[in-house]
Amino acid sequence: MKGFILSLRSEFYKSRKTMGFWCAVILPLIIVGLIFIGFLTHPGNLSKYPGMALWMFYVAPISVIMGNLLLPMYIIFASYSVNAMEHKADTWKTLFTLPISKWSVYTAKYVFAMFLLFLCLLLFYLFLLGSGNLLGVLKPELKFYDYHVESYLAQVYTKLFLVSLGILSLQFLMSLLWSDFIKPMGIGFVCTIAGLIAVGVGWQYAYFIPYAAPALANSPLKSNNNTAHNSGVPHLTVDMFTKEVWVSLVVAAVVFILGFFIVQKKSVK
Amino acid sequence: MVIRTDRLSFHFGDQQVVKSVSLEVPQGSIYGFLGPNGAGKTTTIKLLLNLLHAENGTIQIFDKDLQTNRIEILSQIGSLIEQPAIYGHLTGKENLCNRALLLQVPAERVDEMLELVRLKSAANKKAKQYSLGMKQRLGIALALLSDPKLIILDEPTNGLDPNGIIEIRQLLIRLVKEHGKTVFISSHLLAEIERMATHVGIINHGDLVFQGTIDELAGLSKPLVQIEVDNGVDAANLLTRNGYTINGIEENTLLLPYTSKEDTGKMNALLNQNSYMVYSIGKVQKDLENLFLDITQNT
């Protein structure tokens, strides 16, 4: 456990000056910033909508683009970035000659990649909430304050996190084994497109494709999200543990364990 | 013995890279592990560090089996393999701090190491801007950071200028003499090693062709008689006709196996009697560099 904590601290220390880390911050900042500016400068007739609908207009485009393309691409990049640092500096040999178990080194790296994904989604969540509420203050005619979206949005982003773990494990393993960016990026990109097509044509077994999972997870956002609430105020919920979430979690666990055995056997040439 | 391997073997694909190598590295020694490029030095070092897994044979370090005591053994080894593994986006100091964090070494040690390898003034410069020599020095600092009992260095003087080489040599000698460390250092240049090594292992095509003390290596060198004459070729023919073996001839200098003082005198007399002018005659020993070449070329 000590080895794992030391390795994880080292991952933070090494990565704080890398693009992989800063992308987790910059990506949500830029994307939410753009939509914020859009709403601020071109509110159009948005003022006629109630709070819940406004929040949906504000949140849905980002979440849909994110699930369909941005999130898989970010995972491809983050997984690569965590491993590329060692490939580039030729430091695998150093990591594996430390008096720390290979399990700790490998797990710490994986957990750090997971942290990057978590951070990115958390910042999307916080920036969306913060900027939406700020819009409500700056432009009181936009009735963001009418509706509390926090809980629903937290569920959406939690689900996006869970459905992404399968892709994360696969991309992490590929980036660990291959030092170049082209292979994991190419495979990841093709799989993402395949997943999108499968979801697009409504293939009933699309949930078996981990790369299709974020797009599938977004579906409830677009429809089937209204349930009557006791007070009469519409209440949004997310069906958290759907089939694609389970598939993602199982793929993540299996590939993670498989990855460790590959690392264990792997020779550092 | 600090390192003891028993019939260690390894191959990449069809190519046998290490063939039944049995190393014996005594405590407190500077063991020069020599061999031409591609002889199997780095592969052997990777086997010693458990980066590669031996197909046959065993490795004992500090009298413990490496496979079953990996972490305990690695905690007492500092190593530098091939080119130094350095994060270019971090400064020299940050590279050391990161390793100090992993090895739980106090932060003061980082400054000591920077001082030791003369990188203090470049400590806050990004490591990717370092020259090859500076990177090599940082690699050595990283290897020494945890104050290990055994230091394994693979061609550590690559890229260093003569002053840097001398400094590293003096540092290693000091570490062994004053702090009781053991150093295992590989090189393809005997000249670089012979001034500090107490023991030598020579590997060629994966075979350990010599292992022993530096004196034992020198002892392998057979003495020769070196004669400088006015007409080398004719003198060589004369000596051959009289039953002598010529080992080498270079311009007017002949080399023959040395047997005794008397025999050397007879050679001199024979040449004089046949009107050859002998400018010099004497017993010479082959230097270690040539000996190393002989050993590696004849195997």
For B243-270, the pLDDT digits (tens) are 998 988 888 899 898 888 999 999 999 9
pLDDT interval class at A226 (50, 70, 90): very low
Partner residue opposite B89 with nearest CB, options A9, A17, A96: A17
pLDDT interval class at A235 (50, 70, 90): low
Residues 6+ apart with CB under 8 A from A178: A184
CB contact under 8 Å between B87 and A89, yes or no, is: yes
Task: With beta carbons under 8 A apart, name residues in chain A contacting B51.
Answer: 93, 96-97, 267-268
- Strand pairing of B30-34 and B182-187? parallel
- pLDDT at residue A119 in the model: 95
**CA-to-CA distance for A269 and B208, rounded, in angstroms?**
21
**CA-to-CA distance for A65 and B146, rounded, in angstroms?**
49
Partners of B131 in beta bridges: none
Partner residue opposite A268 with nearest CB, options B46, B98, B142: B46
* Lowest mean pLDDT, pick from A142-146, A225-229, B93-97, B214-218: A225-229
- pLDDT at residue A224 in the model: 42
Share of chain A above pLDDT 70, in %: 92
**CA-to-CA distance for A47 and B149, rounded, in angstroms?**
73
- DSSP letter for each residue of A23-41: HHHHHHHHHHHHHHHHHHH
User: Tokens in use for B287?
Assistant: 């230097």
Regarding the domain delimited by B3-219, which CATH topology (the fold level of the hierarchy) does it fall under? Rossmann fold (3.40.50)
**Distance in Å from the first CA to the final CA of chain A:** 28
- pLDDT at residue A172 in the model: 94
**Could you give the C-alpha distances from B209 to A220, B174, B248, in angstroms and in order?**
72, 29, 24
ipTM above 0.95, yes or no: no
- Boundaries of CATH 3.30.70 in chain B? 224-297
Q: Are B179 and B152 in contact (CB under 8 A)?
A: no
Task: With beta carbons under 8 A apart, name residues in chain B contacting A88.
Answer: 88
Per the prediction, chain A carries an average pLDDT of: 86
Regarding the domain delimited by B224-297, which CATH topology (the fold level of the hierarchy) does it fall under? Alpha-Beta Plaits (3.30.70)
Residues B143-160 pLDDT 10s: 999 999 999 999 888 777
Average pLDDT over residues A249-260: 93
Give the Cβ contact number of residue A262 at 10 Å.
14
Tell me which residue of A256, A56, A71, A79 sits closest to A146, measured CA to CA: A56
Q: Does A16 contact B at CB distance below 8 Å?
A: no
Provide the H-helix boundaries in chain B. 41-48, 70-74, 92-103, 108-116, 132-144, 162-179, 190-194, 214-219, 232-241, 261-273, 288-297
- Strand pairing of B15-21 and B182-187? unpaired
Partners of B77 in beta bridges: B150
- pLDDT at residue A233 in the model: 54
pLDDT interval class at A230 (50, 70, 90): very low
Q: Are A68 and A218 in contact (CB under 8 A)?
A: yes
Does position A269 have pLDDT exceeding 80, yes or no?
Answer: no
- pLDDT at residue A222 in the model: 47
Nearest CA in chain B to A18: B89
Does position A102 have pLDDT exceeding 60, yes or no?
Answer: yes
**CA-to-CA distance for B264 and B266, rounded, in angstroms?**
5
Residue with tokens 């050397």: B264
Does position A159 have pLDDT exceeding 60, yes or no?
Answer: yes
Residues A52-72 pLDDT 10s: 888 888 888 887 787 778 889
For A36-60, give one letter per residue: b (16+ CB within 10 A) or e.
beebeeeeeebeeeebbebbbebbe
Q: Are B244 and B236 in contact (CB under 8 A)?
A: no
Any idea how long chain A is?
269
Q: Are B74 and A3 in contact (CB under 8 A)?
A: no
Phi, psi at residue A3, to the nearest 5°?
-60, -40
- Strand pairing of B207-213 and B24-25? unpaired
Nearest CA in chain A to B88: A89
Does position A229 have pLDDT exceeding 50, yes or no?
Answer: no
- Strand pairing of B150-154 and B182-187? parallel
**Could you give the C-alpha distances from B118 to B111, B112, B141, B164, B167, in angstroms and in order?**
10, 10, 10, 10, 10
Beta strand segments in chain A, E: none
Residues A167-222 pLDDT 10s: 999 999 999 988 888 999 999 999 999 988 988 888 888 888 888 888 887 765 54
Q: Does A88 contact B at CB distance below 8 Å?
A: yes
Per the prediction, chain B carries an average pLDDT of: 89
User: Between residues 210 and 269 of chain A, which touch chain B (CB distance below 8 Å)?
Assistant: 267-269
Average pLDDT over residues A214-231: 56
Ranges under pLDDT 50 in chain B: none
Average pLDDT over residues A112-124: 94
CB contact under 8 Å between A90 and B89, yes or no, is: no
- Boundaries of CATH 3.40.50.300 in chain B? 3-219
Cα of A268 to nearest chain B Cα, Å: 5
Q: Are A162 and A251 in contact (CB under 8 A)?
A: no
- pLDDT at residue B277 in the model: 92
- pLDDT at residue B184 in the model: 95
Phi, psi at residue A184, to the nearest 5°?
-65, -35
Alpha carbon B165 to its chain's center = 13
Share in percent of chain A as helix, strand, coil (round to 5): 80, 0, 20
